[in-house]
Copies of this chain bind each other. A is one copy, B any other.
Amino acid sequence: MAGYVSDAVIRRLPGYYRHLRELEAAGVTQISSQELGKRMQLTPSQIRQDINCFGGFGRQGYGYKVSDLKMHIGEILGLNRMHRMIILGVGNIGSAVANYPTFNREGFETVAMFDVDPGKIGTRVGNVPVYPMDELENFLGDNKVDVAVLAVPVKAAQETMDRLSACHVGAVWNFAPTDLHHPDDMIVVNVHLSDSLQILSYKMAHAGEA
Contact = CB atoms under 8 A, between A and B. Distances in A.
A97 B204 contact: no
Given A179-B18, A197-B103, A197-B106, A78 B205 contact: yes
Contact of A207 (B11, B101, B187, B204): B187
B189 A19 contact: no
B100 A195 contact: no
Contacts of A108: 197, 201
Interface in A165-210: 170-171, 173, 177-179, 187, 189, 191-207
Contacts of A96: 91-93, 96, 193
Nearest to A201: B78
Contacts of A194: 14, 18, 100, 102-103, 106
- How many copies altogether? 2
A11 B173 CA distance: 19
A157 B161 CA distance: 35
21 contacts: A10-B199, A10-B202, A13-B199, A14-B198, A18-B192, A77-B201, A77-B202, A77-B205, A78-B202, A79-B201, A92-B96, A102-B177, A103-B194, A103-B197, A108-B197, A170-B204, A173-B196, A173-B200, A187-B204, A189-B196, A189-B200
Given A92-B96, A99-B92, A193-B100, A77 B187 contact: no
A72 interface: no
B201 A18 contact: no
A11 B78 CA distance: 26
A76 interface: yes
B199 A189 contact: yes
A13 B202 contact: yes
A15 interface: yes
A107 B201 contact: yes
Contacts of A201: 77-79, 81, 83, 106-108
